[in-house]
């Protein structure tokens, strides 16, 4: 009798524990924490696999040893300063300048590193100097050298790549090893394979726009790829190979794109828009080059569009990423931008972007694919084919495809004939009509013009159904085209 009662007690206790855990799970939220710029949210939030320090955020005008709080965290500089003169070789407004046997050291940890890339040059007209990359792992006070010595003798920035392949908590240090009074410039220090970052006090580091967070994935989502930017497919089969330089895949986390080196801009950009993407973050307007492009590729700058007659036209718009400053900042990378006729950008496209965001307020989620093709557009100063001394292609057409479905899970299965589909193709012309519905077309029309397969992840039968419809002005109104 005692055994039976004991077993019953154990069973009741087990049921109570299960019930408690179940209630706890159902009460969980997937909203970001109060500090949206923390590097690690924990739980379902993961860090981007790249950390880039551009040495722009803080300034130090003397070679005396001291600490600087840069974007990624606190660095120690000895016989080093931040130089912004014409003799300093830099990608932005300033770079680090090191003399004698000086060094710069991270006073925070990164977790795991695959490679490190560093841009470097001999300062001004100085002679050659050697320097090296060193690392201390898992709290060790001993720094070991990574790779071989690097010689800085060129008077323009070069890129050094170090194969690190280390796990655990890592601190890096750059040491000048020779050259005496000859000085070197160091800029754009990038670690790939980064996970969590901690500063000296062990707290999360606020990183501004350098370290972006991946979008949260709900624990209760049945399909793990829900909300993925490329849920519908990779339209052009882009790859992250530098040999594929005109169809180069870049994951910016808040959006994913195919980039063309020769056109100096995106072929297409894909993103998901949901309620967690919208918040109260102000538009940052920090247009800037993407310094993570492969070495030797031209990086469009904010000033590349000056006096061109074209707007810096977002693909993934700033207004679709207002939940955190990191998210909004990511939209101002110049490889998310194309030369867009001002009225096209400020009227027609703004109206469609606002329409898409209004769908979120109505309980929907949205998948967007946007791109451009052709050469030659008409801005406020007339027709042209390129800007920035021929480096940046001006597209002839700008297009967008929008898929609207009610909030829910298993998104890929729910994109079918019941989904609301919008496809438009506009001329890049300043005389464009502000009503985007004047430019409605079918997905097949865009695929014929671009050669892309926009919904390659959908079943063929579904593609054949939704790709030949035109948006009719209401969420469910469609009419089939006859071919």
Between residues 166 and 312, the one the model is more confident about: 312
CA distance 228 to 3: 53
Q: Report helix, strand or coil for 311.
A: strand
pTM for the predicted model, two decimal places: 0.56
Q: Which architecture, in CATH terms, is 50-198? A: Sandwich (2.60)
pLDDT of 433 higher than 50: yes
User: pLDDT digit string (tens) for 264-279?
Assistant: 999 999 999 999 999 9
Burial class (CB in 10 A: 0-12, 13-18, 19+), 476: exposed
User: pLDDT digit string (tens) for 41-95?
Assistant: 222 333 335 788 999 989 999 999 999 999 888 999 999 999 999 999 999 899 9
Active site residue 314: yes
Domain ranges of the chain: 50-198, 248-480
For domain 248-480, is the CATH number 3.40.50.2300?
no
The pLDDT assigned to 10 comes to 55
Which residues lie across from 426 on neighbouring strands? 398
- Rounded average pLDDT over 431-444: 96
The pLDDT assigned to 44 comes to 30
Residue from 170, 172, 176, 232 nearest 195 by CA: 170
pLDDT of 219 higher than 80: no
Among 120, 272, 314, 397, the one annotated catalytic: 314
| Range with lowest mean pLDDT among 61-75, 285-299, 380-394, 465-479 | 465-479
CA distance 329 to 287: 8
- Rounded average pLDDT over 25-41: 32
Helix, strand, coil percentages (3-state) for the chain, rounded to 5, are 20, 35, 45
CA distance 100 to 88: 16
Burial class (CB in 10 A: 0-12, 13-18, 19+), 267: buried
DSSP at 59: -
């Amino acid at each position: 009798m005692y055994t039976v009662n004991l077993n019953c007690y154990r069973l009741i206790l087990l049921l109570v524990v299960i019930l408690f855990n179940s209630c706890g799970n159902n009460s969980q939220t997937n909203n970001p924490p109060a500090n949206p710029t923390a590097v690690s949210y924990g739980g379902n939030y993961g860090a981007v696999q790249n950390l880039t320090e551009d040495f722009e955020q803080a300034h130090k005008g003397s070679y005396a040893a001291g600490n600087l709080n840069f974007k990624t965290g606190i660095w120690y500089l000895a016989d080093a300063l931040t130089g912004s003169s014409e003799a300093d070789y830099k990608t932005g407004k300033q770079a680090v300048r090191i003399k004698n046997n000086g060094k710069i050291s991270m006073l925070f940890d990164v977790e795991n590193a695959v490679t490190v890339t560093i841009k470097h040059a001999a300062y001004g007209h100085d002679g050659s100097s050697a320097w090296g990359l060193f690392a201390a792992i898992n709290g060790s006070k001993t720094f070991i050298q990574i790779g071989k010595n690097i010689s800085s003798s060129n008077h323009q920035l070069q890129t050094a790549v170090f194969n690190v392949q280390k796990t655990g908590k890592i601190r890096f240090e750059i040491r000048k090893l020779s050259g005496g009074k000859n000085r070197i410039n160091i800029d754009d220090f990038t670690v790939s394979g980064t996970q969590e970052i901690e500063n000296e006090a062990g707290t999360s580091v606020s990183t501004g726009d350098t370290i972006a967070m991946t979008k949260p994935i709900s624990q209760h989502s049945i399909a793990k790829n829900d909300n993925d930017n490329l849920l519908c497919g990779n339209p052009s089969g882009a790859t992250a190979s530098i040999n594929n330089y005109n169809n180069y895949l870049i994951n910016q986390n808040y959006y994913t794109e195919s980039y063309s080196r020769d056109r100096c801009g995106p072929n297409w950009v894909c993103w998901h828009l949901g309620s967690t993407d919208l918040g109260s973050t102000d538009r940052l307007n920090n247009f800037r080059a993407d310094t993570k492009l492969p070495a030797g590729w031209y990086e469009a700058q904010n000033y590349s569009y000056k006096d061109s007659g074209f707007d810096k036209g977002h693909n993934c718009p700033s207004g679709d990423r207002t939940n955190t400053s990191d998210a909004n900042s990511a939209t101002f990378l110049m490889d998310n931008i194309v030369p867009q006729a001002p009225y096209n950008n400020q009227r027609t496209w703004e109206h469609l972007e606002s329409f898409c965001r209004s769908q979120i307020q109505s309980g929907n989620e949205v998948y967007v694919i946007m791109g451009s093709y052709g050469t030659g557009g008409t801005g406020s100063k007339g027709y042209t084919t390129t800007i920035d001394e021929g480096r940046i292609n001006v597209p002839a057409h700008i297009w967008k495809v929008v898929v609207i479905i009610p909030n829910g899970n298993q998104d890929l299965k729910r994109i079918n004939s019941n989904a609301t589909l919008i496809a438009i193709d506009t001329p890049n012309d300043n005389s464009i009509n502000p009503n985007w519905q004047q430019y409605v077309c079918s997905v097949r029309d865009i695929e014929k013009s671009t050669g892309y397969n926009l919904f390659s992840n959908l079943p063929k039968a579904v593609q054949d159904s939704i790709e030949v419809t035109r948006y009719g002005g209401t969420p469910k109104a469609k009419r089939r085209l006859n071919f």
